[in-house]
Structure 1
């Protein structure tokens, strides 16, 4: 890798672990990230790695990096277990860990984890309130509206209390994040959408609080490949009711209505095919490295304090016939493309 000149004006993250390389083989790449200008690693939790284990490894591999989860669902762990996992990672990476939680989706919570996805707003509110008390070592003996905790106290209280961020899309959850959490985590929005969302967050009391955003990036000059991949992802995600409502609020009702109708009719391929190029190009950053970095910096300029690129597989990364060394080189090239430059 050629090392770019780091941008020290803001934090800059990367979604971790990366696809295409076994987790145990990602140490050298993680160790190199600070020299490339990265300040943060943020995990995710869907059906791959859990949110905490990769960050525990990274806390040792690159002790300069800030670490965060984006996100841990509020339903899939009990309140005490969530507090314990948070405290353990905060102890392993003192002053460098941020917990990001969110309501997640019925598929992840109900279909995959066998937990009712009930009262997502209330559960998010109550989880943040519980964590803000528990992580400071208080005894929590409280009946919250969505759950009750009896006489719980952390045995290992982190010396530095980790911030708690709440994932948010529309005004209600943005207000909750602004008023109850230490910041918010955004997802599935364009650089131009950031202004709308951040203005709402700040107006609700979030001015000065942390704003992180996961940004999907496919660093390839093959626009047809990137758009085909982007259409499949958009059809899979933005048909989830919460994301559909989010994009209606952002003004994409007419652009995405054919996709929603096809999906509701059971036509998955038709739904993906109906997503316009302009929507894909807005929500999936793709192109040559220079164009990718320019677009990522627009997110930061519009109000994202911690851009967190999530690298989608490029044609070289997706080539299952490629030798492991070639795939590792393709991943390294993609990481360099999303570095701050």
Structure 2
């Protein structure tokens, strides 16, 4: 039996104020973990702060808090506050994010993403332990910063990683790694780059799940997501490294030429079926469990819209959550 089973929160279409019932349903169904993200919806911390009070037994994590959108001190303070609210239950996942999120939307200069991630990881390790930090890092300088309220239980620090350099950094200096946009069959290659002797090293993976038997709907949603994400340079190079260039090159070529319609049409069913879990809820649960068999310690579902959810409302959502429970 899997020890941990996660869901990405908040769920789309459900106001935050109504998430007390959502968090309760997830916990009742056997979900142990609630993981947030931060792009252009909610911030990464507010949903988890609510969950820390509404579900005092749930494990919480950010996947991810970008390292460019907050200064070092503010990120440390925010993480410390949540660690104080949920002692021993919170893991801070950080990552570089993207030029769009950092630069276009947050007026930050997206430069040296590897070095910035490494420097923030090292700063947070010291700051969250209650140390006074007075140091010049490669990408920023901190002068005599010390948390007024260092958490009694510092959160574990996880690093989002794609290719070998960041994967090796996670294995060497973080408490775990956060992975994204992978098929279960990709994990042997990825985890070979994140070797560590630490038995407590966590491997967290966000897995996109479209729980519907309507394969045409799932593939339509999946193609839109693949075109939006895997044309971003970091993800493009990641999947080229994974060996998907023969499958995705036509999409990349059409996208680069500005032909969005042709790019969508160029994505084969094979690629969608590898990267987007779809089928009945029970089939999806079994598929996600294969990620655990491949080495993922914390599979984290990210639910995508389905006709059943759009028509069925809260009752359909609760039934779906129950159906997606961890395999026994």
Q: TM class by shorter-chain length?
A: over 0.9
Partner of 1:287: 279
Distance in 2 (CA, whole Å) between partners of 1:312 and 1:84 is 32
Stretch of structure 1 that moved more, 10-19 or 27-36: 27-36
TM-score normalized by the length of structure 1: 0.93
Are 1:327 and 2:320 counterparts? no
Tell whether the 8 Å contact from 2:29 to 2:322 is kept in structure 1 after alignment: yes
The correspondence for 1:246, drawn from 233, 238, 252, is 238
Tell whether the 8 Å contact from 2:282 to 2:324 is kept in structure 1 after alignment: no
Deviation of the 1:206 alpha carbon: 6.1
Tell whether the 8 Å contact from 1:52 to 1:89 is kept in structure 2 after alignment: yes
Deviation of the 1:334 alpha carbon: 3.2
Structure 2 stretches lacking a partner, 5+ long: none
The runs of at least 4 aligned residues of structure 1 exceeding 6 Å deviation read none
Deviation of the 1:335 alpha carbon: 2.3
SS of the residue aligned with 2:7? Answer: coil
TM-score normalized by the length of structure 2: 0.97
Superposed CA deviations along residues 248-275 of structure 1, whole A, max 9, x for unmatched, are 1111011000000000001112111111
Are 1:200 and 2:193 counterparts? yes
Partner of 1:309: 301
Q: 1:250 to 1:182 in 2, by over 3 A?
A: same
Deviation of the 1:294 alpha carbon: 1.2
Distance in 1 (CA, whole Å) between partners of 2:324 and 2:208 is 10
SS of the residue aligned with 1:128? Answer: helix
Aligned residues between the structures? 327
Distance in 1 (CA, whole Å) between partners of 2:37 and 2:51 is 14
Tell whether the 8 Å contact from 1:215 to 1:310 is kept in structure 2 after alignment: yes
The correspondence for 1:95, drawn from 74, 88, 92, is 88
Deviation of the 1:19 alpha carbon: 0.7
Partner of 1:143: 136
Are 1:340 and 2:326 counterparts? yes
SS of the residue aligned with 2:209? Answer: strand
SS of the residue aligned with 1:161? Answer: coil
Distance in 2 (CA, whole Å) between partners of 1:155 and 1:293 is 43
Structure 1 stretches lacking a partner, 5+ long: 1-6
Distance in 2 (CA, whole Å) between partners of 1:147 and 1:157 is 22
Distance in 1 (CA, whole Å) between partners of 2:262 and 2:323 is 32
Are 1:65 and 2:51 counterparts? no
Deviation of the 1:339 alpha carbon: 2.1
Are 1:110 and 2:96 counterparts? no
Distance in 2 (CA, whole Å) between partners of 1:275 and 1:251 is 15
Distance in 2 (CA, whole Å) between partners of 1:20 and 1:337 is 19
Distance in 2 (CA, whole Å) between partners of 1:208 and 1:267 is 46
